[in-house]
Each structure stands twice: as C-alpha cells, then as structure tokens.
Structure 1
Amino acid sequence: MVLKDTNFVMKKAVSLAKNLEGNWSVRMKMALNEVYIDHYLSQPLTKEVIEKLLLKGISFRRIKKHFKVGMDEISSLLAK
C-alpha cells in the first residue's frame, strides 16, 4: 500500500468505527480489519492477496466464492 491508499483506508475505517458501539480501540480495530479485507478482495487474485486474507481470518470458502475459483486454483497459487 502506498500513502494514498493508507489515508483512504484510515478515513474509511474511522467513519465505519463511528457507527459502531463500544470501546473506541475495539471499534477501530474491527473497522480496520473490515476495510483491509474489502481492500484485498478488490485486488486481483495472487498468492500475496490470498495470504493476507488468510491472515485477516477470511476462510477459503469466502475467498472461493468471491473470486469464483476452485480450491485447486487457490492451492496451485499457494504452492508457488
């Protein structure tokens, strides 16, 4: 991510966190995770994107449904 992307992500996360209830730090963490997931899902399917999504807690099933690929395609990307 470049600085422009980071600024956009933070603006989006703050506005999302303001709509949630509870402790600010918890709301901000949840909002940042959601915005990062949306950002990575908008990227083309690569090994790095899959790894980042898995680190953020996204399931293989959600990745398969979003990118409309099979498990064999995901496995082949991760094996490289």
Structure 2
Amino acid sequence: MVLKDTNNVMKKAVLLAKSLEGDWSARMKIALNNVYIDHYLSQPLTREVIEKLLLKGMSFRRIKKHYNVGMQEISSLLAK
C-alpha cells in the first residue's frame, strides 16, 4: 500500500467506527479490519492476498465464495 491508499483506508475506517457503538479503540479495530478486508478483496487472487486475508481473520470458505474458486486452487497458490 502506498501513502494515498493508507489515507483512504483510514478515512473509511474512521467513518465506519463513528457509526458503531462502544469503546473507541474496539470500534476502530473492527472498522480497520473490515476496510482492509474490503481492500484486499478488490485485488486479484494471489498468494499474498490470501495470506493477508487469513491474517485479518477471513475464512477459507468466504475467500472461496468471493473469488468463485475451489479449495484446490487456494491450496495450490499457498503451496508455492
């Protein structure tokens, strides 16, 4: 990510966090995870994208459903 992308992510996360209720740090953490996941889902399917999505807590099932691929394709990308 470049600086411009980071600024856009933070702007979106702050807007989302303001709409949630509760502790600010918890709201911001949830909002940042959601915005990062949306950002990575807009990119083509690569090993790096899959690893980053898994680190953010996204499941294999949701990745498969979003990209319309099978588990074998995801496993072959991760095995490389």
TM range (shorter): over 0.9
User: Unpaired runs of 5+ in structure 1?
Assistant: none
The residue number in structure 1 matching 2:36 is 36
Partner of 1:13: 13
Q: 1:70, CA displacement in angstroms?
A: 0.4
Cα deviations across residues 7-30 of structure 1 (Å, max 9, x unaligned)? 000000000000000010110000
Percent identity over paired residues:
85
Within-5 A mapping of 1:1-80: 1-80=1-80
One-letter amino acid of the counterpart of residue 22, structure 2: G
| Alignment size in residue pairs | 80
Shift in Å, 1:2 = 0.3
Tell me the distance in 1 between the aligned counterparts of 2:4 and 2:44: 19
Structure 2's unaligned 5+ residue stretches are none
C-alpha distance in 2 between matches for 1:30 and 1:58:
13
Tell me the distance in 1 between the aligned counterparts of 2:59 and 2:32.
18
CA drift of 1:79 comes to 0.5
CA distance in structure 2 between the partners assigned to 1:63 and 1:15 by the alignment: 25
- Distance in 2 (CA, whole Å) between partners of 1:26 and 1:72 is 36
Tell me the TM-score normalized by structure 2: 0.99
Instruction: Report the aligned-residue RMSD.
Output: 0.4
